[in-house]
């Protein structure tokens, strides 16, 4: 295991210089703990891998939209890939330059499109005829030039979980590639539209560089033929998707960057990418405490105080995340299912995990939960989502006030019967 930012010292797990045990005393559990050094490291590895290309990094907020994390990424120079008005507001709040914000997504509402235009974002990636007509009529109504790119669906199937593959024609994403050129030409003739280029995103948790390459070659060929016909195609947005090997914390930034530079060397397109997972997954752990050990004839369970409402990836995608004790001790290994208190069999973090000397009250760290962790949390079972803190530059930064059940109750309305 090699997680930058998380290390054992004298058998106790630390996030940078801070002991996770101390964090649990001060802030309670369950809690997300992020390492700023880990985010910096991922950002710098990704930047170096594409250094010989003209590529902007637009962090996909959907992976983690906690303001403290966004403002760190903004400080590092990242732009943003957003998919809702809410994400736009958060990106702006974290001082991300609007000229580095790209708006993706199949269902942008008129209000969201107007908000994006008003804030002068870099481009809107349009995904359907109806959306394009809507953007044109908004642009005319506001009499403003609106920057638009077309998201292309290249009809490529990728080897990933079916729920996060987005590049084939039977998914809701993008415009069929054979129709892209015509729609681009139509957009180019609109006086209030500035055509920005093409975009693509074939899915998430992708490891096979040939899948990226194929997608890139696909938009390159549409872009080239549009240019040959005299249309302006300044930017190609290559989407996100780089996979994280959750068992060994490995991310192949090098080959990813090389794939981009191999495909685009010699071309003068300006490029952008939309990484989410690869920048933040390994930067976070979910710290949780063992409430009960429950041993039955058929299974051993560790019941912890975190649950699927805090972190749903194992439940939703059968995802593997390493779970390790915060305090290491020697002893025979035993197999456990690590489960939360929620009343569903699917509420688990690990199955058949091997742990030694597990005791009630002990702390466990669920690794690589920095991406698609807190953003996907809920109040299910009327539980309040885990709090979040960031260790950065020698300091512990509390990122949120702990939500309380009273906060939820105060927003609900008791009808008078
Ligand atoms: N750009 C677009 C248009 C996207 O839809 C996505 C992710 C990204 C960029 C970022 O992809 P990444 O670099 O993170 O792979 N909740 C799922 C992942 C959903 C990804 C959705 N789209 C999970 O926990 O695995």
Domain carrying residue 356: 6-34+281-411
pTM for the full predicted model: 0.97
Rounded Cα–Cα distance for residues 209 and 249 (Å): 18
Whether residues 193 and 290 share a domain: the answer is no
Q: Using the 3D structure, point to which of 276, 310, 332 is the last residue of a domain.
A: 276
pLDDT of residue 330: 85
What is the phi/psi pair of residue 406, to 5°?
-60, -30
The residue among 170, 181, 253, 167 whose CA lies nearest residue 216 is: 167
Look at residue 127 and tell me if it is in a domain: yes
State whether residue 403 is helix, strand or coil.
coil
Residue pair 204/176 in contact (Cβ under 8 Å)? The answer is no
Whether residues 299 and 400 share a domain: the answer is yes
CA–centroid distance for 299 within its chain: 34
For residue 152, list its beta bridge partners.
Answer: 175
pLDDT of residue 155: 84
State whether residue 279 is helix, strand or coil.
helix
What is the phi/psi pair of residue 268, to 5°?
-110, 25
Three-state helix/strand/coil letters over 174-228: CEEHHHHHHHHHHHHCCCCEEEEEEECCCECCECCHHHHHHHHHHHHHHHHHHHH
Q: Which of 62, 151, 237 to mutate to test the pocket of ligand 1 (most atoms within 8 A of CB)?
A: 62
pLDDT of residue 75: 98
Whether residues 255 and 291 share a domain: the answer is no
pLDDT of residue 165: 79
Of 143, 343, 414, 417, which is the active-site residue? 343
Q: Give the number of domains in the chain.
A: 2
Look at residue 416 and tell me if it is in a domain: no
Three-state helix/strand/coil letters over 239-271: CCCECCECCCCECCHHHHHHHHHHHHCCCCCEE
Residue pair 14/7 in contact (Cβ under 8 Å)? The answer is yes
Whether residues 185 and 243 share a domain: the answer is yes
The residue among 135, 387, 412, 394 whose CA lies nearest residue 286 is: 387
- CA distance between the termini of the chain: 58
**102 CA to centre of ligand 1 in angstroms:** 14
Whether residues 320 and 366 share a domain: the answer is yes
Residue spans of the chain under pLDDT 50: none
Residue pair 320/281 in contact (Cβ under 8 Å)? The answer is no
Whether residues 340 and 261 share a domain: the answer is no
Q: Mean pLDDT in the chain? A: 96
Q: Using the 3D structure, point to which of 225, 252, 276 is the last residue of a domain.
A: 276
DSSP character at residue 22: H
Q: Which residues line ligand 1 (CB under 6 A)?
A: 60, 62-63, 81, 104, 164, 201, 204-205, 239-242, 274-278, 313, 317, 372
Q: Using the 3D structure, point to which of 276, 298, 314 is the last residue of a domain.
A: 276
pLDDT tens across 230-258, in order?
Answer: 999 999 999 999 999 999 999 999 999 99
Confirm whether 343 is a catalytic residue.
yes
The residue among 346, 348, 365, 368 whose CA lies nearest residue 303 is: 348
């Amino acid at each position: 295991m090699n997680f930058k930012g998380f290390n054992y010292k004298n058998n106790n797990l630390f996030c940078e210089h801070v002991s996770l045990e101390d964090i649990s005393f001060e802030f309670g559990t369950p809690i997300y703990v992020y390492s700023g050094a880990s985010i910096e490291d991922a950002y710098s590895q990704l930047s170096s891998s594409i250094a010989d290309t003209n590529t902007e990094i637009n962090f996909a907020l959907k992976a983690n939209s906690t303001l403290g994390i966004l403002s760190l990424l903004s400080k590092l120079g990242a732009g943003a890939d957003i998919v809702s008005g809410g994400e736009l507001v958060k990106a702006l709040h974290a001082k991300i330059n609007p000229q580095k914000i790209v708006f993706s997504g199949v269902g942008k509402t008129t209000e969201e499109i107007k908000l994006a235009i008003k804030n002068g974002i870099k481009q809107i990636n349009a995904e359907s005829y109806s959306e394009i007509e809507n953007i044109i009529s908004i642009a005319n109504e506001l009499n403003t030039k609106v920057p638009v790119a077309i998201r292309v669906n290249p009809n490529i199937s990728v080897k990933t979980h079916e729920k996060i593959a987005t590049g084939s024609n039977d998914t809701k994403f993008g415009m069929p590639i054979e129709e892209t050129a015509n729609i681009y030409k139509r957009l180019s003739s609109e006086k209030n539209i500035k055509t920005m280029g093409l975009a693509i995103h074939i899915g998430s948790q992708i490891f096979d560089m040939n899948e990226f390459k194929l997608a890139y070659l696909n938009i390159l060929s549409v872009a080239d033929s549009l240019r040959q016909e005299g249309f302006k195609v300044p930017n190609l947005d290559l989407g996100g998707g780089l996979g994280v090997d959750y068992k060994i914390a490995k991310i192949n930034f090098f080959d990813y960057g090389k794939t981009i530079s191999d495909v685009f060397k010699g071309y003068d397109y300006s490029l952008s990418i939309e990484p989410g997972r690869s920048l933040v997954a390994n930067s976070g752990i979910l710290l949780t405490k063992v409430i009960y050990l429950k041993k039955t004839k058929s299974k051993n369970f560790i019941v912890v105080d975190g649950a699927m409402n805090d972190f749903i990836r194992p439940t939703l995608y059968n995802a593997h995340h390493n779970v390790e004790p915060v305090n290491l001790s020697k002893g025979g290994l035993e197999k456990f299912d690590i489960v939360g208190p929620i009343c569903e069999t699917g509420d688990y973090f690990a199955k058949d995990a091997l742990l030694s000397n597990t005791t009630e009250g002990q702390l466990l760290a669920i690794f690589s939960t920095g991406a698609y962790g807190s953003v996907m949390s809920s109040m299910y079972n009327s539980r309040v989502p885990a709090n979040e803190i960031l260790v950065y530059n020698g300091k512990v930064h509390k990122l949120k006030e702990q939500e309380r059940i009273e906060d939820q109750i105060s927003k609900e309305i008791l009808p008078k019967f």
